[in-house]
Chains A and B, each alone.
Chain A
Amino acid sequence: MNETPRFNRVLIANRGEIALRIQRACRQLGLETVAVYSEADADSRHVHEADIALCIGPAAAARSYLDADGLLLAARLTGAQAIHPGYGFLSENADFADAVEKAGLTFIGPTGASIRMMGDKITAKRAMREAGVPCVPGSDGPLPADMETVKAIALDVGFPVIVKASGGGGGRGMRVVERAADLAQAVTLTAKEAEQAFGNPTLYLERFMQKPRHIEIQVLCDTHGTALWLGARDCSLQRRHQKVLEEASAPGITPQTIAEIGTRCAEACRRIGYRGAGTFEFLYEDGVFAFIEMNTRVQVEHPITEETTGIDIVAEQLRIAQGARLGIAQADIGLRGHAIECRLNAEDPFTFMPSPGTITRWDLPGGPGIRVDTHVVAGYTVQPYYDSLIGKVISYGATREQAIARMRVALAEMKVEGISTNIPLHQDLLADPAFAQGGVDIHYLERWLAKRTAL
């Protein structure tokens, strides 16, 4: 850490488990924390643990966690000199990052310019291609207005293609087109939806990969030119583009292959002057990586990388924001063992309907290789206003088999009453032969769920 730290009090502009995770990292580094919370989160754990806690608005996120002006005002009134945005909410809002810095505060994350570049999928892809990161074949820019030209591009790329909104992400604003005959209608519809959803009708298209896996590379960059890659995560088990279970490393992909793509990601970070933690997301099929997007923030699934590298990613975010140099070199990063994360949601394990309510029993698992990141305690009430994530169980083992075995025991030990959780879903997945083999594609879970419903 620098002799004169840039900040010693951090405002955590988030809620739930990630707010507590950030608070822990701050406290371990001797930094004071400011918890800003909505009226609905007054009983949250990190609120009680904070040096300063301030209710900034009602439950509605627009008036609390998404209120950029209110957050800046709260930082000023509480004397916080830095803001950690966590994930979701304002974490990838370039204007907010700029406003924080303009107010003379430190934004714990990349510059607004980096966020803006990655937020626009066309500029992101262009920057990545120029930096040598492999991208899926596509239109290499916005689709022209002339439909004949669009058709020519699509034929050149090869059907099936996926038409995507430049301002989209997270599975929204996209449409798969199987045949040239359906292209014009798909483009018109997607543009209209994109205009409505993101205020930006710009589209691009890419070849649609049929059975890809979701593989992502975690990076960590300081402001002195060091950019590190911390191995890969396999997040292929998804439902409606929401990750359910993640693992590190990616089963069946050789360390050499990961090292090669990781090196390119780190090099791209150096080229664009990236700062802080970030994730390059790829589709992976038949040995080919295709860049989809970069997440310019800490991710929900960061703990599995922490387990396999021994690096505290959130603490490093804070140190980097202080202006410190990364104390590790790429050669020091060993990828040891295997880690799995099960996201615990307050939802029905079959219908996926949210299950808010008061948790009457909350017995956590333990033992070697088990980590639980959660803001929940017994008696906690899951609010209906926010996402249903109530915690994460992370298992670590010397091998994938050991990590799975430890996770099985952990989930069996975990007792939750008062609400429904997706623990039974995780238990079924862990017992699935295809999962046990490893390397399922991103559509596997939805197919598996469809089959389960049919039975």
Chain B
Amino acid sequence: MSNRSEQMVPHFDRLPEPEQIGQMATWLAQAGLESLELSNEAAGLKLRICVGQTASGATAPDAPTAAQPDVSAGLVAVKTPYFGHLCLTHPQRDSAFSPVGAKVAQGDIVALLTMDSLQLPVCAPVAGTVATVTGQAGALVGYGTTIMQIQPD
């Protein structure tokens, strides 16, 4: 991130002004990024900005294959939308995004794919409870790899 944007991202001790959020969303779109998360646990603040990607942006990864329930157990696989090193814990926290037993909503970030300085979210295809985590943290995983399974609500 450039110095300019470092200065312009507000100090996160209170919710930014709508114009500031709008500006950050514009930067995200321009950089071809999907979402930005700011958190200040001490202040109990968390802000996530998601932008819809247009054709002009970088490749908007879509789901590798439609989430298909595992008929035997009724589980839905969470597949990676790109390749990269699998990161199962939040970079600024020690806790796992979604350990076994965690409740997730559809679209929740359940893991990240790290490629050098880039990170791409892996999102839950359905709402439910994490049943298994098969992805190895830190492993290089390919596109479309099943990293966990969700028992849908």
Interface residues of A (CB under 8 A from B): 39, 52-58, 63, 67, 70, 73-74, 76-78
The prevalent SS among residues of B at the interface is: loop
The answer to whether A77 and B144 have CB atoms under 8 Å apart is no
The answer to whether B83 and A77 have CB atoms under 8 Å apart is yes
8 Å CB contact of A56 from B65, B85, B116, B142: B142
Residues of chain B within 8 A of A70, CB atoms compared: 59, 83
Q: Is B145 among interface residues, defined by CB-CB distance under 8 A?
A: yes
The answer to whether A39 and B84 have CB atoms under 8 Å apart is no
Closest to A57 in B: B143
The answer to whether B144 and A39 have CB atoms under 8 Å apart is yes
Residues of chain A within 8 A of B143, CB atoms compared: 39, 55-58
Q: Which 10 pairs from chain A and chain B are nearest by CB? A: A55-B142, A55-B143, A54-B142, A57-B143, A39-B144, A73-B115, A56-B83, A54-B83, A56-B143, A77-B140
Q: Is B64 among interface residues, defined by CB-CB distance under 8 A?
A: yes
The answer to whether A58 and B115 have CB atoms under 8 Å apart is no
Residues of chain B within 8 A of A73, CB atoms compared: 83, 115-116
Residues of chain B within 8 A of A56, CB atoms compared: 83, 142-143
The answer to whether A58 and B142 have CB atoms under 8 Å apart is no
How many angstroms between the C-alpha atoms of A211 and B116 in the bound complex? 56
The answer to whether B144 and A58 have CB atoms under 8 Å apart is yes
Interface residues of B (CB under 8 A from A): 59, 64-65, 82-85, 115-116, 140, 142-145
Question: Given A56-B83, A74-B83, A67–B144 Cβ distance below 8 Å?
Answer: no
Residues of chain A within 8 A of B84, CB atoms compared: 77
8 Å CB contact of A39 from B59, B64, B115: B64
Question: Given A56-B142, A67-B59, A77–B64 Cβ distance below 8 Å?
Answer: no
Residues of chain B within 8 A of A63, CB atoms compared: 59
How many angstroms between the C-alpha atoms of A57 and B145 in the bound complex? 11
* A62, chain B: closest CB distance, angstroms: 9
How many angstroms between the C-alpha atoms of A339 and B151 in the bound complex? 60
The answer to whether A58 and B83 have CB atoms under 8 Å apart is no
A57-B83, A77-B140 given; 14 more Cβ-contact pairs under 8 Å: A39-B64, A39-B65, A39-B144, A54-B140, A55-B83, A56-B143, A57-B82, A58-B64, A63-B59, A67-B59, A70-B83, A73-B83, A76-B115, A76-B116
* A410, chain B: closest CB distance, angstroms: 37
Question: Given A39-B64, A76-B116, A77-B84, A55–B59 Cβ distance below 8 Å?
Answer: no
How many angstroms between the C-alpha atoms of A56 and B84 in the bound complex? 9
What are 5 inter-chain pairs, A to B, with CB distance below 8 A?
A52-B140, A54-B140, A56-B83, A58-B64, A77-B85
| Highest count of chain A CB atoms <10 Å: which of B64, B83, B84, B140 | B83
Question: Given A39-B64, A58-B64, A77–B115 Cβ distance below 8 Å?
Answer: yes
Residues of chain A within 8 A of B144, CB atoms compared: 39, 55, 58
How many angstroms between the C-alpha atoms of A52 and B83 in the bound complex? 13
* B144, chain A: closest CB distance, angstroms: 5
The answer to whether B59 and A78 have CB atoms under 8 Å apart is no
* A253, chain B: closest CB distance, angstroms: 49
Residues of chain B within 8 A of A52, CB atoms compared: 140
* A351, chain B: closest CB distance, angstroms: 32
| Highest count of chain B CB atoms <10 Å: which of A52, A56, A76 | A56
Closest to B118 in A: A73
How many angstroms between the C-alpha atoms of A292 and B116 in the bound complex? 44
Residues of chain B within 8 A of A39, CB atoms compared: 64-65, 143-144
Question: Given A77-B85, A78-B140, A55–B115 Cβ distance below 8 Å?
Answer: no
Residues of chain B within 8 A of A78, CB atoms compared: 140
How many angstroms between the C-alpha atoms of A53 and B140 in the bound complex? 10
How many angstroms between the C-alpha atoms of A76 and B116 in the bound complex? 8
Residues of chain A within 8 A of B142, CB atoms compared: 53-56
How many angstroms between the C-alpha atoms of A76 and B118 in the bound complex? 13
Residues of chain A within 8 A of B145, CB atoms compared: 55
How many angstroms between the C-alpha atoms of A111 and B104 in the bound complex? 50
